[in-house]
Amino acid sequence: MAVSTETLAARCRHRFPIFEHRVYINSCAQGALSDSVRAAYEQYLRDWDEYGAPWEYWVERGEAARATFADLVNAAPDEVAVTTSESAGVAALASGLRYARRSKVVITDWEFPTIGQIWHAQESRGARVVHVPAGTDGTIPIEHFERAIDDDTLIVSITHVCYRNGAMIDVPAVVELAHERGAYVLLDVYQSIGSLPIDVKGLGVDFLGAGVLKYLLGSAGLGFFYCRRELVDKAWPTATGWFADENIFEMDHTDYSPAPTASRFQSGTPPIPAIYAGIAGMELMKEIGIAETREHVLELQQRLIDGLDELKAVLVTPRVPERRGALVCVKSTDVPALVRALDAEGIVISERDSNLRIAPHAYNTADDIDAVLAALERHRSLLAAAG
């Protein structure tokens, strides 16, 4: 059943104070601050003040974050590592793989810099990184993956949604192809999780990296890394730390014995304040409803796209709903100037790659979309014109 663009926002918009004075439509960069996340940070400070150093409790908070995230993606808690960022989890995996039998790492030209940088860093250890280009239609056709993935491919590392244009990869098709050819699949869902349902079992991915900064409404400093249980012992990370050990309180500095679970992809002291905020953000998104949010955002996107067409703007994001995430991108002749102009009118928005990124979430309304469109009409000279 379709969700009204007013109903969902009416249930949750009051939880985000920024809407009292701004039009916030920038969740692809950072989720709006909610009352529950603010309260979580205040609780952290109270706990610290009252107890001093309640490490046993703080470790339990980390376990709660692990369980909450695992539930979101249909994983078991022992398949999830709690990390300080997605980079930390991916780097631990990359450092723990061996590139002798199979050396090729296949990534796309849509990857966030951290992913490409981590894999290219493995070239000194024997990895051979191959990039899959996009097609002329703004997607990456499966045929491009077919040409890149072969029997020398160790892992295929893909983003779910491109942060530069909002396009979505056909993950099941890539997973099927990679597995047929004996390769693992790592999926980066940083730009999608919280905006649409993610099921690691349904998708069939082997590894997954994520953070809570964007559509999960948490804050910077907390990430998660999923490893399918059967593959945990396939990686022996050399990027590690005491929270990756099989017994963190043994405090043994004479031995490296990584955990027999996905915790082996962790490192040092966990980000306790961000864990408080992350739990609050994830629980709030579960309360709002992620599947409902996806329907809500698609409806807002259609209103936005119709308005952009009336403005004769150049839409960069695919028009097919199944091939786009939560952000819609439009080409600009001077995107920094356009972002500044909108900011001056009280609209919080961002840009990448000469594209204005418009990213609605559960708390946005049709009025927000109309405000953006009205502002773009006033600054039409900063929009690239459709041919």
CATH code that applies to domain 38-285: 3.40.640.10
pLDDT of residue 2: 47
pLDDT of residue 1: 40
If phi > 0 it is left, if psi is from -120 to 50 it is alpha, else beta; for residue 266 that is beta
Q: Which residues of the chain are under the pLDDT cut of 50?
A: 1-3
pLDDT of residue 254: 86
Quick one: how far is CA 21 from the chain centroid?
A: 27
Taking the C-alpha atoms of residue 198 and residue 206, their distance in angstroms, rounded to an integer, is 13
Taking the C-alpha atoms of residue 297 and residue 278, their distance in angstroms, rounded to an integer, is 22
Please answer whether residues 26 and 349 qualify as being in contact, where contact means their C-beta atoms are separated by less than 8 angstroms: yes
pLDDT of residue 251: 84
pTM assigned to the model: 0.95
**Number of CB atoms found within 10 A of residue 50's CB:** 8
Please answer whether residues 192 and 163 qualify as being in contact, where contact means their C-beta atoms are separated by less than 8 angstroms: no
pLDDT of residue 149: 98
Q: CATH 3.40.640.10: which residues of the chain?
A: 38-285
pLDDT of residue 313: 97
Per residue in 133-147, pLDDT tens? 999 888 999 999 999
Q: CATH 3.90.1150.10: which residues of the chain?
A: 7-33+289-382
Q: Which superfamily, per CATH, for 7-33+289-382?
A: Aspartate Aminotransferase, domain 1 (3.90.1150.10)
Please answer whether residues 226 and 207 qualify as being in contact, where contact means their C-beta atoms are separated by less than 8 angstroms: yes
Dig out the tokens for 54 from the structure.
């309640």
pLDDT of residue 77: 98
